[in-house]
Amino acid sequence: MRILVIGGSDAGISAALRVGELDRTADVTVLLADEYPNWSICGLPYFLGGETPDWRSLAHRTEFAGITLLRQHRAERIEPAARTVTVRGPGGGEHRLPYDRLIVATGAVPVRPELPGLELPGVHVLHTMQHALDVQRVLDSEPPPKSALVVGAGYIGLEMAEALVHRGLSVTVASRSDPVFPSVDAVFGHAITEELTQHGVRVAAGTALQCIERDGICENLVARGSGGFEARPDLILVATGVQPDTRLAAASGAELGTRGAIRVDRSMRTSVPDLLAAGDCAETWHRLLERNTYLPLGTTAHKQGRIAGETALDGKRLFAGSVGTQVVKLFDLAVARTGLLEREAAEAGFDPATAETVAWDHKAYYPGARRLRVRVTGDRQTGRLLGAQILGSWQGEVAKRIDVFAAALFHEMRVQDISDLDLSYAPPFSSPWDPVQMAAQAWAAECGLNETAAAVRGADFDG
């Protein structure tokens, strides 16, 4: 069996490794467009911020036993009828590689807004290892840059704002959304803005950048935007999101779906025979919405790649789906979410309500207790948990606590059921009622759903 994989990041390597685990006789080849197989793109801000000084440590793995890894080989065309892929090698020449099953894991590419001046020197995007090395060279140059503008206030944008502050730069963040970080509710977005401001970041929320120019006199960069916004940074980093890289798959006849991602079933099959897709280039099955959506996450890519590898060998496993669990560290804060925000739940046809509570991360009498803000969204009609968000100290186990909600969502639990979970307790770590349980109890109280009513109203949901 000849398995050809296009793309050597999370999904592609996961697929190749799974094939090797299941069938040691399979001929597995991975095409890699650059020199960096299976690097942690999520770790780039920590490399650039100096917390991870050696970029080589970002490699998830350096050994690929049983896999033929072709570096600097770019796939140019897929020919499904002939079951071949035309590849351009490092010398520029083209040749064809045959396959029995093809896995497309081309990932995503940065969104480049329609903005005059994006091509100017000093303007960068951050998505690949090479991008990071380019930015690092600028940061290490003499004289080093003193100021930076980050365009975009999503995960990478805000993580890079922190990284650049760590490097001693004066940082401005320009965000279309107001408040920043629209992945969480606005009240948490305002708290994030306050955290950024306290660490010296200038936040221009509700600002649409209109152009980037060179000052004709001093040759400095000038960025201008709505509301009279102006910045004159030494470095501009554009982090306005990503979009699926589907050029190859679409040209081969594969159907596209949500947000232009490759349409796949839960086996990761596309509409083209013997062609599978996984990772940030493909759709994602959402467990709550019960339909495909587009959620480009590293955790999802690893899982989808594993399923694609099994399917390539005629396995029967299905991708279990995502609930969109995410977490980010911003200076002293950690912010996490899973499931649906209230507005997303309403759009999906639920009857959502959200309650917020504040609790200590562990017993207050034990030194170092920190407050956590927990927002729980549930369905009024059934009591079903729909989503949760947590904001607090990054040392307050925010990530692991959002995972409790994620597990509850995965198993379609009601909010009230979270109180019954047997969670660990010792004064340095939690309370007899963990903050996630206190938040669940607060939701039931504030939304008028007592245990008896929930049991009756949730009977159909149980069925």
The pairing of strands 84-88 and 74-79 is: antiparallel
Question: At CA 440, angle to CA 439 and CA 445, rounded to 5?
Answer: 95
- CB-based contacts of 129: which residues, under 8 Å, 6+ apart? 34, 35, 36, 39, 41, 44, 55, 58
Q: How far is CA 314 from CA 19, 101, 169, 274, in A?
A: 11, 10, 53, 10
- CA–CA gap between residue 258 and residue 339 (Å, rounded): 18
- CA–CA gap between residue 100 and residue 104 (Å, rounded): 13
Residue 42 designated active-site: yes
Residue 230 CB neighbours (<10 A): 9
φ/ψ bin of 207: left (φ > 0), alpha (ψ from -120 to 50), beta (otherwise): beta
Select which of 42, 211, 218, 281 is catalytic: 42
- The residues carrying an active-site annotation are 42
